[in-house]
Amino acid sequence: MRFKPFSESYDFSKAELSEDYPDHFNTPLYEWIYKMLDENDLGWSKGYGNNISVIKTEVLGRFNVIFRENFPDNINIFISKLLSDADLTSNFLALMLQNYANATSAGKLEVILSRGGSAFKVIKTDMSAGSYEKGAYDLERRVSEIVAEQAKLSIDGNELLKDAWRAFYSLNPDYEKTVNKSCDALEHLLKDNYEPKNGKPQLGVMIKNLIASPEKMAYKGDTLLLDKSVLLRLIDKATTVRGTHTAGTGRKPTADEAEFILHATIFIHNMHNKL
């Protein structure tokens, strides 16, 4: 359904994204969850008619164990309980996407979330999966279209950066993994571009080498800089929070540090693309 707002009151294009599920989500999410349970044979009809009214006992048992809850078997009460807690809602949607959603159902959920202003979005995790294949989807944090588009050039086809991105924007972000995978990706980039014969590349060492000999560097726009190594100075301290806490010599990265390292790495990759 197309809609061009008549007044600013109903123009939500600049509204803040919500990690909760306000009342306007209730009906569409209820219908989506009900249809997922129905289409995947997870419930049955207790009375007359074909409409499911009860969650199957073995299915309910699995849900109880996964979420450590004591869910009611009545469909209406079950879904109402899901929608009463935002964190539970998000995690149940993720469960459905990871196991039961195909391209059509995943797409319908994304429409609901995007139009409703959710801070979460549906992503496809297995790009080789066909449209009828189930379980190739997940939920992750939504970022602005501009940021996502800038990152896409480097993330596509780069498994390390893809893992770093998912680790940061997942429902349960892993900042340490974000930093580790970002650093691994940068290590590969610098080796391939500047030290291809290095059999044992170390990110910190390569960064120091290039800062000491910036004339070796080549990337988009480097002619505008007096010191080409300025690009690497953005991230030369990343190795101080790259798993060093496990040896007692460092600490875990904060959310801000992980986000900076991830996006700085993507920027450096973008500047080296299609030279």
Q: Return the pLDDT at 172.
A: 79
Query: Given its phi and psi angles, is residue 144 left (phi above 0), alpha (psi -120 to 50 degrees) or beta?
Result: beta
pLDDT tens string 24-60? 999 999 999 999 999 999 998 876 667 889 999 999 9
- Joined together, the tokens standing for residue 143 give 């970022």
pLDDT tens, position by position, 72-114: 999 999 999 999 999 999 999 999 999 999 999 999 999 999 9
**Global pTM value:** 0.68
Q: How far is C-alpha 79 from the geometric centre of its chain's CA atoms?
A: 25
CB 244 within 8 A of CB 125: no
pLDDT digits (tens, 9 = 90+) for 131-145: 999 999 999 888 766
SS3 142: coil
Given pLDDT bands bounded at 50, 70 and 90, which one contains residue 250? low
Residues 190/206, Cβ–Cβ less than 8 Å: yes
Task: Domain ranges for the chain, please list them.
Answer: 18-142, 159-272
